[in-house]
Structure 1
Amino acid sequence: MSTSTARRAGPREWGGLAVLSLPTVLLGLDVTVLYLALPSLAEDLRPSGTETLWIMDAYGFLIAGFLITMGTLGDRIGRRRLLMIGAAAFGAVSVVAAFSDSPGLLITARAALGIAGATLMPSTLALIGNMFADARQRSVAIGVWATSFALGMAVGPLVGGAMLARFWWGSAFLLAVPVAVVLLVAAPVLIPEYRAPRSGRFDLLSVVLSLLAILPVIYAVKRFAKEGPDAPTVVAAVVGVVVAVLFVRRQGGLESPLLDVRLFADRTFSAALSILLVGLVGVGGVMLLVTQQLQLVEELPPIEAGGWMGPPALMMFAAAIGAPLVARRVPPGIVVAAALALSAVGYALLTQVNATGGIALVVTGFGLVYLGLGAIAALGTDLVVGAAPPERAGSAAAMSETVQELGLALGVAVLGSLATAVYRGGVDDEIPAGTPAGVAGPAGDSLAGASSVADRLPPGLLDQAKEAATAGLNVATLVAAIGVLALSFLSAAALRHIGAIGGDGPAESETAPARHSGSRV
């Protein structure tokens, strides 16, 4: 589609973008608010250790598992319709979560929130692709969309901390209700409907196979982060990979597949997905470690730690908005490569953080990491959606979100495990013989564990634990710096065939399927 003939968006579409950004902010907010609510939640509901893990993980498992299904379902029944159904369900189930009186009910509500959340991200992203046909406008719109999630994550500690200071833990879930109401009222006015003109039969077996492929892999990644490569981790990973092969083979033989595997033949689509996956691995692991550094090493309260996360969020916002504007004159491959190189500098700065007063260095380094994230989230997502024909935009958007979820989980597993190994190596030999098991165990496991028994630790051991945790951050970020720098060079090579967006060169993939007009209401 050439930019000379593409219909340019007007005030209605930009107003619709504001509405579509609301659920994205909400999902980002949900990531951080629950961490703040967990202590008071645990005191009230008294979940077991296993129940606590499921309260935290049920949402992520289900949202990752259902993204592809919901993306394709929106293509078939209408993306605005699915968005409104999902928003209504998310608001209603949030009320159930807020007033849960048992761990089991809260786990069930969190799982339902994951399924409802899976309808929101691909629907909003695919609708943006429909509403903004002009390549330049679409890039800016996706940049705004990409920053909305980070904005939610950034304000989560501030908003959540303020609410939890006045109300009970369930109030954190009620933030979803006004967002759902606004979306349900405004969507029919500002957002056009879109559905694929030739949707075909919805294959339920493909849905089952997609779940059996994604969920075991996500479980294996999360378990690896906690337990290492034990038997359940390996079995889950093997099951996921085997079923994934069966899923792909089935999709290739269907006239109306759940996931059009032909999209992967497009080198822009495949390259952009790969960049998003690998780029998010570094961000996922370092985000966890930086949060730990601010709260456990620097001993900042959640609200203050959230305030220090504000500047990096602003840098991400600037990159996500600015990168598409720069890509109007400079090829996206060069923009992405330059942003990733700056990210590598940020990771390198984090290798120099020490355990005594390193807040400014942490924030500066993490800000550069977030700058790279903003650029690849905006441009990478735009390239993925732009490479797909309109009737497959929902499926393409779902793939973009799925690889980002997987990248974040892999980052926590790989870099988190590496940092944990460094921590344990630095603390184990420092624990005096005869230290009670109830103290030695938590202290040797993690800095969070050492902090929980700080009043019973031998003198100086907590300081040693902080130094060991900081050393773990240093080693993990060194690995991330090397990987992201390599990704920078690979990105420039993999995306070199793409010209400036909306310019004289090919604004979209050279091999992308021809775009067709779908059914817009």
Structure 2
Amino acid sequence: MMTLTQEIELADAAGRRVGWRGWAALVVLMLPVLLVSVDNTVLSFALPAISSDLAPSSTQQLWIIDAYPLVLAGLLVTMGTLGDRFGRRGLLLLGATGFATVSALAAFAPSAEWLIAARAGMGVFGAMLMPSTLSLLRSIFTDRDQRRFAIAVWASMFSAGAALGPIVGGILLEHFSWGSVFLLAVPVLIPLLILAPILVPESRDPDPGRIDPVSIALSLATMVPVVYGIKELAVHGLTGPAPLLILVGIGFGVLFVRRQLRVRNPMLDMRLFRVGTFSGALAVNLLSVVGLVGFLFFVAQHLQLVLGLSPLESGLALVPGLAAMIAAGLTVVPIAKRVAPRVVVPAALAFSVLGYLLIAAAGDQTGPALLIGAFIALGMGIGAAETVSNELILASAPPAKAGAASAVSETAYELGAVLGTTLLGGLLTALYRSNLVLPDGVPAAVASDAEETLAGAMQAAADLGGSVGEAVQEAAAQAFSAGVGVTALIGAGLVVLAAIVAATTLKGSRAS
């Protein structure tokens, strides 16, 4: 019986370069990637409008953002296994159909609860989309040089979508209600449904993991309590149910791992985690995404609610940084062929640390120019690091297990998105509340709204008007800026941790 390393080396040795059809398939597979990245960015910029219309609490705000990645993260491993067994292209098409349908329902949500439920439904079908795209790339591009470039395009498409999202979303929010941003899924996914059956070859694992209901239940029982516990920890601290929830999730996680090691054809091949490069690249992915999403969470609010920019102006302010992310992701490809990942990834992440430190040093003097410069630095580091780490994850798994490897990679990505919003977003909310000092004369009901969220404070200031309204607005802006400074330092620390992980765990990986 071949070892996992022998399977990978044999597959890479037998790799064949693809022609125009393979590159055309790559273009088609980028459509769902584009959609997901656009959706994430648009939602951040639409949050002030959603807050004004649906009046969600601070906890509901976090759930509106996080319901999607929470459900998605819990189902990714299951969906990756289903794709390996029944066909990755078929699962992709099913996910695209469902995602477009539920997105249309989210567009007309009459309440915060409805929107949260719709976002959870999008997570179910999103779990079918993302592992399928990455695993199909692994099966199409068997030549490592071509695969490295294809994954750079895949990673850069996230950045391209993030760059397009604020612009398109800004235009939509200038002329239509916030619900219009969810309708973007329909025109993006229709070409996928038409072209994928023609251009994208079906692939599956000849010896797939079993469909194990117990393992599916255990994977959900692991992810949901852990992520929900982290959310509660950010809002209520150690006095709430968070510690118990996290312990419960960890307990189910131990049971999940033990079951995968015991059964003959496990749902998730745990041998993947014995490869240091695979585990290290996963950790880099997770921590990098925490830093990126955490930055976007507060910068979107700062641009619109503190600096007073429109959604379109805020989106345009982030375009240079997102363009830098795309450029860095593509530029690092030839560098990664010659320089070891343990050097490339930490060097790239040093730029991201610089971006966070610029925000922390500026304090309440943070203006548009500084935010643009900081995001350019952050984007350069994340773009390069994500390209290298994603390629290492796929290169560390045999093609037959591409679905499982892709699912684990996407789980780390989505968990990072949840943690970025929950940890950094929750910390920022807590700091905002502790630093907010409202002037005398503010009615109790208005003060309660102002203390809940920054958007609530700005809406309260507009309702009050006059000198009292101006005082509320200034107090809220100062409290938020003070929170941003501390949060930026935490974000910088997380990126430093990602660089240390890369330097210590990727030492055995080859640059080519």
Alignment of 1:251-266 (within 5 A): 251-266=260-275
1:347-362 equivalence runs, <5 A = 347-356=356-365, 358-362=367-371
In the aligned structure 1, how far is the partner of 2:310 from the partner of 2:506? 43
Shift of 1:99: 4.9
Q: Distance between the aligned counterparts of 1:53 and 1:209, measured in 2?
A: 25
* Structure 1 residue 189: Cα displacement: 2.0
Distance 1:264 1:22, change over 3 A: same
**Alignment deviations for residues 17-43 of structure 1 (CA, whole Å, 9 cap, x no partner):** 111111011011112334555666678
Q: Please say if 1:31 is aligned against 2:40.
A: yes
Matching residue of 1:441:
448
2:121 — aligned with what?
112
For residues 46 and 287 of structure 1, the distance between their equivalents in structure 2, rounded to whole angstroms, comes to 21
Distance 1:357 1:89, change over 3 A: closer
Are positions 1:306 and 2:315 aligned together?
Answer: yes
- Secondary structure, counterpart of 1:195 in structure 2: coil
| Residues 84 and 203, structure 2, Cα contact 8 Å, conserved in 1 | yes
Report what 1:465 is aligned to: 476
* Partners of 1:86 and 1:119 within 8 A in 2: yes
1:92 matched to 2:96? The reply is no
Matched residues in 2 for 1:22 and 1:421: separation? 37
What is residue 374 of structure 2 aligned with on the other side?
A: 365
| Cα separation, partners in 2 of 1:417 and 1:100, compared to 1, 3 Å | closer
Match in the other structure for 1:396: 405
**Residue 460 of structure 2 aligns with which residue?**
453
Shift of 1:453: 1.2
Q: Taking structure 1 as reference, are residues 490 and 62 closer, same or farther at Cα in structure 2, changes over 3 Å only?
A: closer
By how many angstroms is 1:56 displaced?
4.3
Q: Any conservation in 2 of the 1:75–1:391 contact (CA below 8 Å)?
A: yes
Distance 1:473 1:21, change over 3 A: same
Q: CA 1:50/1:320 → structure 2, altered by over 3 Å: closer, same or farther? A: closer
Alignment-mate amino acid for residue 451 of structure 1: M
State the TM-score, normalizing by the size of structure 1: 0.88
Residue number in structure 2 paired with 1:506: none
Q: Is the 8 A contact 1:298 1:357 kept in 2?
A: no
The structural deviation recorded for 1:272 is 0.8
Contact 1:328 1:500 in 2 (8 A): yes
Secondary structure of 1:474's counterpart equals helix
Q: Alignment partner for residue 165 of structure 2, among 149, 156, 163?
A: 156
How many residue pairs are counted as aligned between the two chains?
Answer: 499
Deviation of 1:82 after TM superposition, in Å, equals 0.8
Q: How does 1:47-62 map to 2 (within 5 A)?
A: 55-62=64-71
The Cα of 1:77 is off from its aligned counterpart by 0.6
Asked whether 1:194 is paired with 2:203, we answer: yes
Which aligned pairs between 1:472-491 and structure 2 lie closer than 5 A?
472-491=483-502
- 2:22 alignment partner in structure 1: 13
State the alpha-carbon separation in 2 of the partners of residues 354 and 382 from structure 1.
37
CA shift at 1:439, angstroms?
Answer: 3.1
Say if 1:75 and 1:394, in contact at 8 Å, map to a contact too: yes
SS at match of 1:352: helix
* Sequence identity (%): 45
Which of 300, 304, 325 is the aligned partner of 1:295?
A: 304
2:77–2:268 CA contact under 8 A, matched in 1: yes
Query: Residue type of the partner of 2:444?
Result: A
| Structure with the bigger percentage of helix | 2
Q: State the partner residue of 1:337.
A: 346
| Cα shift at 1:100 | 5.3
Root mean square deviation, CA, Å:
2.6
Decide which moves more: 401-410 or 229-238: 229-238
Find 2:332's aligned residue among 323, 326, 335: 323
TM superposition shift of 1:372? 1.4
My pick for the range that moved more, 197-206 or 259-268, is 197-206
Q: Matched residues in 1 for 2:407 and 2:500: separation? A: 27
- Give yes or no for the alignment of 1:412 onto 2:404: no
Residue 297 of structure 1 contacts residue 355 of structure 1 at CA under 8 Å; is this kept in 2? no
| Distance in 1 separating the partners of 2:444 and 2:395 | 57
1:409/1:109 CA distance change after superposition, 3 Å? closer
**Structure 2 match to 1:242:** 251
Query: In the aligned structure 2, how far is the partner of 1:288 from the partner of 1:167?
Result: 22
How far does residue 331 in structure 1 lie from its aligned partner after superposition? 1.2
Q: Distance in 2 between matches of 1:169 and 1:432?
A: 32
Query: In the TM superposition, what whole-angstrom CA distance separates every residue of 1:292-346 from its partner, at most 9, and x where no partner exists?
Result: 2211221111110000110110011011111222101111221101101111111
**1:268/1:384 contact within 8 Å kept:** yes
Match of 1:215 in 2: 224
Q: Deviations over 1:438-477 (max 9, x none)?
A: 2333334443332121143465443233233222222222
1:77 aligned partner, one-letter code: F
Distance in 2 separating the partners of 1:304 and 1:235: 43
Residue range with higher mean Cα deviation, 492-501 or 260-269: 492-501
Task: Give the drift of 1:51.
Answer: 6.9
Bigger shift: residues 486-495 or 470-479 = 486-495
Q: Is the 8 A contact 1:98 1:170 kept in 2?
A: yes
**Match for residue 493 of structure 1?**
504
Quote the residue 2:81 is aligned against.
72
Letter in 2 for 1:475: V
Q: CA deviation at 1:222?
A: 2.4
1: CA distance between counterparts of 2:46 and 2:289?
Answer: 26
2:308 alignment partner, SS class: coil
Structure 1 alignment gaps of length 5 or more: 502-521
Tell me by how many angstroms 1:279 deviates.
Answer: 2.3
When residues 111 and 487 of structure 1 are mapped into structure 2, their CA distance, relative to the original with a 3 A threshold, is closer
Please tell me the residue identity of whatever aligns with 1:301: S
**In 2, Cα distance between the equivalents of 1:307 and 1:35?**
14
For the structure 1 residues 184 and 483, does the alpha-carbon distance in structure 2 shift closer, same or farther, using more than 3 Å as the test? closer
CA contact (8 A) 2:209 2:268 kept: no
> How far is 1:413 from its partner?
2.6
Separation in structure 2 between the aligned mates of residue 492 and residue 36 of structure 1, nearest angstrom: 35
Q: 1:505: which partner in 2?
A: none
Partner of 1:183: 192
Deviations 1:3-23 (A, max 9, x none): 675211221111111111110
Q: 1:409 and 1:105, CA in 2 relative to 1: closer, same or farther beyond 3 A?
A: closer
Whether the 8 Å contact between 1:353 and 1:470 is mirrored in structure 2 is: no
**Matched residues in 1 for 2:15 and 2:323: separation?**
32
What's the secondary structure of 2:436's corresponding residue?
Answer: helix
